Each structure stands twice: as C-alpha cells, then as structure tokens.
C-alpha cells in the first residue's frame, strides 16, 4: 500500500517568486519523514508539491520530477485530482466541513467520489475513525456536527477523513501546532501506528516532535529574505540530531540559529 | 509639562476624567437616539398597515376577486392579485435565482481576476442601479413592441428578473467569499474535483446566507409596481395563466384601489398591503426553516 517518493530537481514558484530551489530526495515507504527548518524556508510549499496542492494557488507552478514508485506525478497526462486521492493531506488547522456531521465528514471523500452503498460507507467510516483513535469518543454521536468536537478531536477527525479514501501517502502540515500537549501526544501516537501502513511526511516546528516521531529528518533553510528555500540535508533522525554533516543543521538544532 | 507628568506617576491609578465621562455619555446617547429615530418609521409603518389592514383582511378578501364589482361596492377581494403576484414572482425567481447563483459561483470560484469576471462585476453593479421603470420600458420595447407579444404575467416577470438578478449575484458572491479557503483545500486534498467541491462543500456552507439574499431579492421585486403596470396591466378577474393576457398583482391592486376616493377601496388597499407583507414574511420563514433543516443538529 505505501509507496516510495523520489523527488529530483524540484523548483516551486509563486508567480515570479522562486519559493524553493532544486530539491532532490527520497522518501522511504512505511516510515515517517520529518521536515524541519525556520519559518518561510519552503517546507510547507515543498510538502504541497507532493500532492499537487501547490498549483491550487493562482499563479503557482512547479518544475521538476516527483516519482511515486514508477509514476511521475507531474507527467503531462496525469490528473491532479487522481494524485490527491493517492497522496492525502492533513492541514495545520483542523478543518472539518462545518455543514456535515462527524459521519459525513469521514465519508466525504468517498461520497463525493461516488461511493453510495451504505454498508460499505458504514464499514469504512468505522475503520477510519478507529484508525484515527477517535471511534470510542464519537461512536454514539456520529450524526452530530464535526465542528462541535474539541480541537484535538477535530484534527483526528481530519486524519480519519484523510485515511478514509485509503491513500498511499499521508502528508501532514504541522498537524499539532494548534493543539494542546495531550492532543499532540494522541496525534503522535497515531502517527507511530499509521506508519506501518502509510508513507508519512510531516512538517513540524517542534524539534522534539521531529525527534520523537520520525525515522528520517530533512532540514531546510533559506540564505536570506527573498531567496528561495533549499534542502540542506536529509538523514536518519538520530544522525541529524546527534551528528549532522552540515554546520547549518547543527546551528539550527542547537538553537544557535537567529 | 514634565512636572505634571511626574506628579501623575507618583499618585495611584488615575480616575476616568470628567471629560472622558462626558464624551462617553454623549456618544452613548447619540447612538441610542439614532437607533430610536431609525426604528420609528419602521414601527409606525408596520403599525399603520396592520391596524388598517386588519379591518378588511378576512377569508372573503383572500378568496374573492374584484370581478363585476365597482370600486364603491362593499366586499370584493384580492384573490386575482395574490394569484398574479405569486405567479409573476415565482417565474421571476425561476429565471433569476439559478442565473444569479451561477454567476456568483463563476465570479468567486472560477473568474478570479480575469477580464471577463471584471466585466461581469461591472455590469452587475450597473444593473443593481437600474430603476424599475427603466427595466419595464426595456421589456416593453423588446418583448411587447419589437417581438409583438401581448400583456402577460411573464412579460412582467422578465422585467422583475432583470431587477432581481444583480441582487442575487451580489448576495451569492459575498457569501461565497466568506467560505474559508481551508475548506476548499481540505476537499481538494481528498481528491474531490472542483465542481463537486463547489456543489457539496462550498455552496452548502454558504447556503443560509444565499437563502437570506434570495429572500431579500424576492421581497424587493414583490413590491415593484411600475414594470407591472407597463407589462402585465390590470384586470379585476382571476387570470391563472401567466403567459396570456393581463393579470392582477398586489402592488398594482394597491395602487389602483388607493387611488380611488371611495372608502371601501381604500380599505381594500390597506388589506392588500398587509397581505403583501404577510406573504413576504411567510416566504422568508419558510426559506429559513428549509435552510435550517439541511444542517446537522448541533446538540
């Protein structure tokens, strides 16, 4: 189910602004890869190029290659909508659909793509909510609005929604930055469970979190304001946090960075 | 100056000065006064219409027409006018609401900053300011004189649709802009195509606001008189076919009865005014109820 992602020579632009420059890396399947780096260094932009969400913004474009196993996501005849079904995403702020119940939120991706059989939906909703460790908290109120849950529950609802369409890869853009420590712990535990089935990429500002949840860590940086973001290095998380090859990484991790 | 400053620092927290208290009181009373002045005409209009209208508003009034009655006769009713107004406004809504909502969707979801979107926005703005008599004259020249059709409820509905559409476009546009982009992105990230995202995520989120806007537009055109006088004309009999011949309508009924010196006619005009207000209120309530039913129960 999980797939390897190989990125080579990737550039991303917002109109005339060069946001990230020449990134090449491999993201291993069934593992967690963390992206760290200062604000504005292009981590989120890079993450969004991996499921073609970057181009949703007017004027934004991408150059380079993103191979998902042996398919190029930016191939000329590839449908971006199909890409997003394979590469799911969880956002920084929990964003359940406000007009939908908890059940409908989880079923949204399937329903909106034409799955109508009630029994099948029931099964997938239960499996996804269990997968997101939310089932026990909401099983008695599936018809209540998703927006009525707490922030941490909403974020787990969004994870359930993302895994309900059974993607191969799960991208998470600072999924815990709006949550309290308890909810953060719940999400981190969940990530550890999910990695047995999915390829997970997580952007985080919290270096302890990167150290806790990830197998590999990539450090991004910018040379200065207005310059494009770059990948400085990617390596095993233990190596990045104990003995990084680059001086810039060490400076950032030990807090000697700005 | 420096001495004063030092003095202030030494003392405990200063009280609110008399000047500020005065300013606070003045502004507060101004705000309340403005509110009262604004509400006086509203309440007095309602009061007047309700008290005067109640004298004649009964089952007879709602079920009988003015057919064969002269204005000095007692009794008679506005049934022909109610039928006409409901049909004309119904036809108007059928034409203007889908067009207006689709235009609003185009402007917010697809148009972006393109030239076409800017042109449409400009013309919608211009249309918002069209006086109703001008819309009436346009349809008169186009539909009745150039194409040779007869007076009909439908001709009136065409003019009303011109007046209603820009309001619907505007309301839809404003409401769609309020839908957070997060929701669109969340839907795209699930591999949902854009049009489905719009139909099943964006529009339902904005539904309550759009319904309110549509109801305001309906209320606005329901009271229009001038285009109907030009295009639908007047009749005292019930004509339940809006595509052929003159029809009654509440605004023209009010206009006609109120212009008559007989007290019986004046009473009918008040009752018709009250009927018009009641119809708009009922439609509004109905639409809100429908919009609420579509949402998941929140407790």
Give the Cα separation of A188 and A174 in Å (integer). 12
Do residues B214 and B290 share a domain? Answer: yes
pLDDT of residue B294: 67
The reply to whether B35 touches chain A by the CB within 8 Å rule is no
Contact, A120 vs A200, CB < 8 A? Answer: no
CA dist list (Å): B275 to B63, B119, B218, B222, B234: 12, 40, 15, 12, 18
Nearest CA to B84 out of B277, B278, B222 is that of B222
pLDDT of residue A40: 85
The reply to whether B187 touches chain A by the CB within 8 Å rule is yes
Q: Chain B partners of A113 at a C-beta cutoff of 8 Å?
A: 190-192, 196
Q: Do B190 and A143 touch (CB under 8 A)?
A: no
pLDDT of residue B14: 79
Do residues B50 and B87 share a domain? Answer: no
> What angle do helix axes B263-293 and B79-105 make, rounded to 10 degrees?
40
The reply to whether B190 touches chain A by the CB within 8 Å rule is yes
Which B-chain residues 97-126 have CB contacts (< 8 A) with chain A?
112-113
Structural domains in chain B (count): 2
Contact, B243 vs B152, CB < 8 A? Answer: yes
B298 has a pLDDT exceeding 50? no
- Compute the mean pLDDT over every residue in chain B, rounded to the nearest whole number: 90
For chain A, which domains are there? Answer: 5-99+169-253 (3.40.50.300)
pLDDT of residue A2: 76
**Between A91, A113, A148, which is nearest B186 by CB?**
A91
Q: Do B295 and A145 touch (CB under 8 A)?
A: yes
Digit-coded pLDDT (tens) for B208-225: 889 989 998 999 899 999
Do residues B218 and B73 share a domain? Answer: yes
Do residues B147 and B276 share a domain? Answer: yes
- Which of A52, A112, A140 to mutate against chain B (most B CBs within 10 Å)? A112
CATH number, position B236:
1.10.3720.10
pLDDT of residue B4: 52
Residue A193, min C-alpha distance to chain B (Å) = 21
Q: Which residues contact A28 (CB under 8 A, 6 or more apart)?
A: A4, A199, A215, A216
Give the Cα separation of A97 and B200 in Å (integer). 10
B151-171 average pLDDT score: 95
Residue A216, min C-alpha distance to chain B (Å) = 24
Nearest CA to B272 out of B212, B222, B229 is that of B222
Q: Do A98 and B294 touch (CB under 8 A)?
A: no
Task: Evaluate whether residue B8 is within a structural domain.
Answer: no
Structure tokens at B75: 């009794």
pLDDT of residue B160: 96
Nearest CA to A153 out of A222, A230, A75, A94 is that of A94
B78-104 average pLDDT score: 95
Q: Do A144 and B297 touch (CB under 8 A)?
A: yes
pLDDT means over runs of 10, chain A (258 residues): 87 91 92 91 92 90 91 90 92 91 92 85 92 90 90 91 91 88 88 90 92 93 86 92 90 76
Contact, B294 vs A99, CB < 8 A? Answer: yes
Do residues B39 and B177 share a domain? Answer: no
Do residues B76 and B157 share a domain? Answer: yes
Q: What percent of chain B has pLDDT over 90?
A: 74
Q: Do A91 and B205 touch (CB under 8 A)?
A: no
The reply to whether B209 touches chain A by the CB within 8 Å rule is no
The reply to whether A58 touches chain B by the CB within 8 Å rule is yes
Local structure of A245: helix, strand or coil: coil
Give the Cα separation of B35 and B28 in Å (integer). 11
> What angle do helix axes B263-293 and B250-258 make, rounded to 10 degrees?
160
Give the Cα separation of B219 and B221 in Å (integer). 6
Do residues B49 and B73 share a domain? Answer: no
Do residues B69 and B41 share a domain? Answer: no
- Closest chain B residue to A104, measured at CA: B296
B68 Rama class: left (phi>0) / alpha (psi -120 to 50) / beta: left
Strand A71-72 and strand A87-90: the pairing is unpaired
Task: With residue B229 as reference, give the H or E element that holds it.
Answer: helix B226-231
Task: With residue A160 as reference, give the H or E element that holds it.
Answer: helix A151-164
pLDDT of residue B299: 39
CA angle B292, B293, B294 (to 5 degrees): 90
Give the Cα separation of B155 and B139 in Å (integer). 7
pLDDT of residue A115: 82
Task: Evaluate whether residue B216 is within a structural domain.
Answer: yes
B295 has a pLDDT exceeding 80? no
Do residues B23 and B158 share a domain? Answer: no
Structure tokens at A210: 């990167």
pLDDT of residue B8: 52
- Give the DSSP letter of residue A145: B
- Closest chain B residue to A101, measured at CA: B296
Q: What range defines the domain where residue B80 resides?
A: 60-298
Do residues B185 and B273 share a domain? Answer: yes
- ipTM of the modeled complex: 0.89
Give the Cα separation of A123 and A23 in Å (integer). 40
pLDDT of residue B9: 57
- How buried is residue A207: exposed, middle or buried, by Cβ count under 10 Å (0-12/13-18/19+)? middle
pLDDT of residue A1: 59
Do residues B21 and B142 share a domain? Answer: no
Do residues B183 and B35 share a domain? Answer: no
Q: Chain A partners of B207 at a C-beta cutoff of 8 Å?
A: 99
């Amino acid at each position: 189910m999980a797939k390897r992602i190989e990125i080579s020579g990737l550039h991303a632009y917002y109109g005339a602004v060069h946001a990230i420059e020449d990134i090449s890396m491999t993201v291993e399947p069934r593992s967690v890869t963390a992206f760290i780096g200062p604000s504005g260094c292009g981590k989120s932009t890079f993450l969004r190029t991996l499921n073609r969400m970057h181009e949703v913004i007017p004027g934004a474009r991408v150059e380079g290659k993103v191979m998902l196993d042996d398919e190029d996501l930016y191939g000329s005849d590839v449908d971006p909508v199909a890409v997003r079904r394979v590469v799911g995403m969880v956002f920084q702020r929990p964003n359940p659909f406000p007009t939908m119940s908890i059940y409908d939120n989880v079923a949204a991706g399937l329903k909106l793509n034409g799955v109508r059989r009630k029994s099948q939906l029931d099964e997938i909703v239960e499996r996804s909510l269990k997968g997101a460790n939310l089932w026990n908290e909401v099983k008695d109120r599936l018809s209540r609005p998703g927006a009525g849950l707490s922030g941490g529950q909403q974020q787990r609802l969004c994870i359930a929604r993302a895994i309900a369409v059974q993607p191969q890869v799960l991208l998470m853009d600072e999924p815990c930055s709006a949550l309290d420590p308890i909810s953060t712990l719940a999400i981190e535990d969940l990530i550890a469970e999910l990695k047995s089935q999915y390829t997970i990429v997580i952007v985080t500002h919290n270096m302890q979190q990167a150290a806790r949840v990830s197998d590999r860590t990539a450090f991004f940086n910018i040379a200065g304001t207005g310059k494009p973001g770059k990948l400085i290095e990617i390596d095993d998380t233990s190596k990045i946090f104990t003995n990084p090859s680059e001086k810039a990484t060490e400076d950032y991790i030990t807090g000697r960075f700005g | 100056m420096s001495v004063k400053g030092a003095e202030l620092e030494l003392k405990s927290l200063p009280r609110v000065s008399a000047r500020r208290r005065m300013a606070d009181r003045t502004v507060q009373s101004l705000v309340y006064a403005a509110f009262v002045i604004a509400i006086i005409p509203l309440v007095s209009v309602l009061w007047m219409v309700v008290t005067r209208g109640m004298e004649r508003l009964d089952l007879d009034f709602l079920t009988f027409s003015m057919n064969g009655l002269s204005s000095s006769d007692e009794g008679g009713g506005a049934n022909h006018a109610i039928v006409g107004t409901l049909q004309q406004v119904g036809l108007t809504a059928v034409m203007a609401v889908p067009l207006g909502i689709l235009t609003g969707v185009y402007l917010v979801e697809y148009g972006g900053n393109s030239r076409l979107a800017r042109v449409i926005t400009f013309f919608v703005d211009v249309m918002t300011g069209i006086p109703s008599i001008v819309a009436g004259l346009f349809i008169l020249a186009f539909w009745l004189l150039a194409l040779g059709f007869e007076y009909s409820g439908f001709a009136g509905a065409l003019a009303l649709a011109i007046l209603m559409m820009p309001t619907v476009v505007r309301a839809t546009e404003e409401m769609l802009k309020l839908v957070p982009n997060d929701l669109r992105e969340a839907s795209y990230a699930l591999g949902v195509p854009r049009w489905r995202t719009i139909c099943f995520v964006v529009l339902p989120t904005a539904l309550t606001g759009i319904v309110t806007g549509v109801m305001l537009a309906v209320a606005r055109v329901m009271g229009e008189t001038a285009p109907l006088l030009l295009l639908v004309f007047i009749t005292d009999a019930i004509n339940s076919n809006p595509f052929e011949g003159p029809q009654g309508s509440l605004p023209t009924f009010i206009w006609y009865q109120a212009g008559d010196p007989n007290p019986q006619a004046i009473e009918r005009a008040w009752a018709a005014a009250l009927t018009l207000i009641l119809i708009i209120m009922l439609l509004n309530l109905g639409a809100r109820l429908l919009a609420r039913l579509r949402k998941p129960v929140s407790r």
